[in-house]
Structure 1
Amino acid sequence: MKKKQELINEIRANLQFELDEWLGNDYPDEGTEDYDLWQRKLSSINNIDNIEDIYAYAAEFVSDENTFLEKWCL
């Protein structure tokens, strides 16, 4: 079983990858809904320090929270 910090780092990296994939090469313009969402997600990902932060991210941004958490055995 992975150490807790390794799991947190892996999840954070995966969330950053997914955000980068969503953006592609098309960064949203400031003041748009997509820009605000991007900045909120980016801030939340950068602030993930523990498992509770992952739960909070999932609750706010993941459409199928249970599947996401099960994927990571949380």
Structure 2
Amino acid sequence: MADRESSARIDDAAALWAARIDARALSAEEEIELDTWLSADVRRQGALARALAISIHMARAQAPGPESR
């Protein structure tokens, strides 16, 4: 029986995918790789959603506000 992938490992991979998505548009090959990765375990979909939400939150937190003008 194969060992179940740990949630920490899924979260790490999801964070890497979120960084790639945030940096630029994925290539066709990367889209296929991402779809394959996501379809292998339903937990990966949630992990990617969380990682993307964190990425958006961090970008907003770093954006200059009116006090920096």
Shorter chain as denominator, the TM-score bin is 0.3 to 0.5
Give the alignment's TM-score, normalised by structure 1. Answer: 0.37
Larger proportion of helix: 2
Whose RCO is larger (CA < 8 A, sep 6+)? 2
Structure possessing the higher radius of gyration over alpha carbons:
2
Q: What is the TM-score when the length of structure 2 is the normalising length?
A: 0.39
